[in-house]
Amino acid sequence: MKVLANDGISQSGIEALEAGGFEVITTKVAQNQLENFINENAVDVILVRSATQVRQELIDACPSIKLIGRGGVGMDNIDVDYAINQGLHVINTPNASSSSVAELVFAHLFGMVRFLHQANREMPLEGDTRFKDLKKDFAGGTELRGKTIGIIGFGRIGKEVAKIALGIGMKVIANDGYVGEAIINIPFYNGQSIDVNIETQPFKEILKHSDFITLHVPNQKQYIVGEDEFKLMKDGVGIINAARGGVIDEVALVNAIDSGKVKYAGLDVFEKEPTPEIQLLMNPDISLTPHIGAATLEAQDRIGKELAEQIIKLLSE
């Protein structure tokens, strides 16, 4: 059987698939050429990340496809229900990238509270002429220890965020429509660990009492955080979105930054990817990354292995 990893796959994933008797094709095929390529090569499995779209039209036009795999969690670029109704397997890798996304959240948080995103812009330009001024500008940092972090969406990634937050001495509060409480196990390098029980709270309570808010929810039909939600937050709040574009109203976010309601903002995802609004990109108060939450070497290695294991189990039976 042939596997087209159109958005790439780790070497460990390739090796596992080949050991299972699969031929792996890593050619990057343009979206408008995908149908012809799949049919000409009789591809059985197509693996994607967030770039390639697998819609109903492609599924109908490519009868050789037996399985669609998403290297990551969100599957909004795949017509999942339609594919399943057509008898196809649809898989993803919900466990593989949780730690990577959680660590990126804290990369933004640590950077923002010490103004690294701003200092790294200003130092190359004026560090040699305005050093003392820049030192004064960026000297008013704050610590995360002792602060309250509100986690909206307490699934796998939200729980990984909680582990790090608890480890550095933050108070953790969380909201989730499906999770009432969770025991967070914090493991240490020497084999010891501690358990912390966290009961979820109403959404508005998270908004009111958090010093920092991070979102970890799937794709939504409407904003979770907009103008009304910002009004409920503390003055000087910090907010991170490493989930999906469209979870936060970006216009309301910019207005909240301008008014001083939001002091820190970090975005890894955007409403208009891959062309985010210029007002966001040029805003010196926003810490920015180009949707790299799962893009660590370790996560990609885990994703490749997890995809391979599922494919071999489903198609080798």
By annotation, the residues acting in catalysis are 244, 273, 291
Q: Is 96 helix (H, G, I), strand (E, B) or coil?
A: coil
Whether the CB-CB separation of 161 and 214 falls below 8 Å is answered with yes
For the chain, the straight-line distance linking the first and the last C-alpha, in angstroms and rounded, comes to 13
Q: Give the pair of three-digit tokens for residue 185.
A: 């196990």
Looking up tokens 């409403």 gives 271
What residues contact 314, with CB distance under 8 A and at least 6 apart?
67, 89, 91
DSSP letter, residue 126? H
- How many whole angstroms separate alpha carbon 96 and alpha carbon 90? 17
Please tell me the number of Cα atoms within 13 Å of 68 on its side-chain side: 28
Whether the CB-CB separation of 220 and 246 falls below 8 Å is answered with yes
- How many whole angstroms separate alpha carbon 167 and alpha carbon 190? 15
Tell me, letter by letter, the H, E, C secondary structure of 219-235: CCCCCCECHHHHHHCCC
Whether the CB-CB separation of 214 and 239 falls below 8 Å is answered with yes
- How many whole angstroms separate alpha carbon 305 and alpha carbon 13? 5
Whether the CB-CB separation of 200 and 168 falls below 8 Å is answered with no
Q: Give the pair of three-digit tokens for residue 209.
A: 């009492």
Q: Is 92 helix (H, G, I), strand (E, B) or coil?
A: coil
**Across 49-97, where does the E strand assignment appear?**
67-70, 89-91
